[in-house]
A and B are shown apart, each in its own frame.
Chain A
């Protein structure tokens, strides 16, 4: 039995209307990824250049654990929990078909080889050919409108290798949509598929190539998804709240202070003690299933204050850059790791 706490419940990503003319106001909805917190629509003018409005909600439901092996093939789970993933968002894909994954595999493979021949730098060996595999990971979708997750693996094989030589996996990525906003998904034109979260692991050069292939073939855009401190604060509270259900083993927070040279401070709190602090702010027995941002802030402030009493250092002068527990980790650079217990 495996439990997974969905950390992606804290991520918001924009849905941009790429081809809307600049003169009309655009309706924009922030989408909740993982939990259903729907924001009121906001209006704004589309300006040339990029738009990446990330809205963090002021309250959300508590994170709930699920038995994921009932829904997802354990082999697939193993792929997802293996690495630390770098996050990006993608706009909806035009004419993407889950039935054409094999053809996409060949196409992307050829694209990478062609780009390499043109002198685009790829770090993985000089004489390597590439084998790309697109596969569907079924079961991660939460609601009826979520598209199935697509997993991409790139293996390198030396061109003159013997048949017996196993190709090495050099890059992995996956596109997913979990608990997307129903209204938004239903409002998409029929030719579009939304798989808004893109997670990658491997050399940046290959990530860039994969992205540019997607952009060309599916007329979409990528953008960086950074996790700000507020998101990390949410994860801190949500993960700590899970402690009674699944032992989080430790709550480790890392700050970076802008001294010269920079000072890294890591504070690893005993999980039971962290939970008791959280519970004193947001009692477990409370009938209200929602957590408020104030409570999250109170929790972080409590930890920072305890730290301050000892060291007289204002952690708020720095930035919270990473939070990790046995359930996973999240880094402000947009890197995330999910662990299944």
Chain B
């Protein structure tokens, strides 16, 4: 095993808490039962790394095996790193007919054709997701396995999730995806998050809302504790109900996808209060608003339900769930007062 392979291996082991290493190695199935038993997970990390490395050398494992381990690690821990969503558009007529074999062939063929040194690994996971690992090289250098790009795609959906892609490789990856899925083009989804799970839930609508009336009585008491005083709550119960309904319509019931941030670039005219000369200004009042929370959609939902936000929920916020994105550029369209979310490229 050369230095690069050892580095890849060391990085994988170092990232996982000791208690999870055993499971990963078992799934990997490249070390013998004796070797697995011999590993002591109570030791310091660097000792475990050394031990595993020496077992790998013993078994004459190579780059293929180690990158496979890394891939398993990422599949098992999808909420590490930063993921960006892209959307495929202009599906051709035979797009629905594309199967996994075709996709793999086309994807690899294209990339091998345009990038001299490249290493591609494609795996299908049990939940129908296709995982792709790409180590990029160029005309002069071998693929860099320390900075691989990861791509996740569910066939016959229009979304692709990408992590760790450098700007200079973007065009190649996009071309390959478009060709292999038989679409006309691909565009930025304006959605970034650390949690791939949240991203998939949001875009593939995996967190289906239960119908409002059925859920309201059940969950209402859960929200009751969040309002200040039960007597006040009773008096304002109509308003409360309405606010609650609005909040769920915009952000869903029950557990929401765990987004952390939403960013809005404001390029609108000043809309403050009072008679400031600024209100007549032609120029924009520029700024960037960033919302962050350990669970953004839960926070926003509570904001609406508790009255900290006024209803009806502004389309700027509901666009997060309705349009599945968390980056927006807000401009004034025409002389009107209302501003709309516009899908401009970042």
Q: Is the CB of A263 within 8 A of B291?
A: yes
Contacts of A281 in B (CB 8 A): 276
Q: Is the CB of B274 within 8 A of A310?
A: no
Q: Which of B261-288 contact A (CB under 8 A)?
A: 264, 266, 268, 270-274, 276-278, 281, 283-288
Q: Is the CB of A264 within 8 A of B291?
A: yes
Stretch at the interface among B59-67, B83-91, B209-217, B304-312: B304-312
Other-chain contact of A314, B271, B273, B308, B316 (Cβ < 8 Å): B308
Contacts of A308 in B (CB 8 A): 310
Q: A277-B276, A311-B317 are in contact. Are A263 and B303 (CB under 8 A)?
A: yes
Q: Is the CB of B302 within 8 A of A260?
A: yes
Residue B290, interface by CB 8 Å: yes
Q: Which of B33-64 contact A (CB under 8 A)?
A: none
Stretch at the interface among B1-9, B125-133, B183-191, B293-301: B293-301
Q: Is the CB of A313 within 8 A of B272?
A: no
Main secondary structure of the interface of B (DSSP, over half): mixed
Bound-complex Cα distance A309 to B316 (A): 11
Chain B residue at minimal CB-CB distance from A272: B286
Residue A280, interface by CB 8 Å: yes
Q: Is the CB of A306 within 8 A of B271?
A: yes
Other-chain contact of A265, B276, B283, B290 (Cβ < 8 Å): B290
Interface size class of B (residues with CB under 8 A): 35 or more
Q: Is the CB of B268 within 8 A of A259?
A: no
Q: Is the CB of A302 within 8 A of B273?
A: yes
Residue A305, interface by CB 8 Å: yes
Residue A45, interface by CB 8 Å: no
Residue B330, interface by CB 8 Å: yes
Q: A265-B289, A267-B287 are in contact. Are A260 and B309 (CB under 8 A)?
A: no
Chain A residue at minimal CB-CB distance from B337: A309
Contacts of B294 in A (CB 8 A): 261
Q: Is the CB of B309 within 8 A of A314?
A: yes
Q: Which of A283-320 contact B (CB under 8 A)?
A: 298, 301-303, 305-314, 317-318
Q: Is the CB of B291 within 8 A of A277?
A: no
Contacts of B300 in A (CB 8 A): 259, 263
Contacts of A269 in B (CB 8 A): 285-287
Bound-complex Cα distance A298 to B273 (A): 9
Residue A215, interface by CB 8 Å: no
Residue B292, interface by CB 8 Å: yes
Q: Is the CB of A301 within 8 A of B317?
A: no
Bound-complex Cα distance A199 to B257 (A): 42
Residue A266, interface by CB 8 Å: yes
Contacts of B278 in A (CB 8 A): 276-277, 280, 302
Contacts of A260 in B (CB 8 A): 226, 298-299, 302
Chain B residue at minimal CB-CB distance from A315: B308
Q: List 15 A-B contacts (CB under 8 A).
A: A261-B294, A273-B284, A276-B278, A301-B273, A302-B278, A308-B310, A309-B271, A309-B272, A310-B314, A310-B339, A311-B309, A312-B311, A312-B317, A314-B310, A317-B308
Q: Which 4 A-B pairs have the closest CB atoms?
A: A302-B272, A270-B286, A263-B299, A309-B271
Task: With A267-B288, A302-B276, A312-B310 given, name 17 new contacts (CB 8 A).
Answer: A259-B293, A259-B300, A259-B302, A264-B291, A265-B289, A265-B290, A267-B287, A268-B290, A270-B286, A276-B281, A277-B278, A280-B278, A306-B272, A310-B266, A310-B268, A313-B309, A314-B308
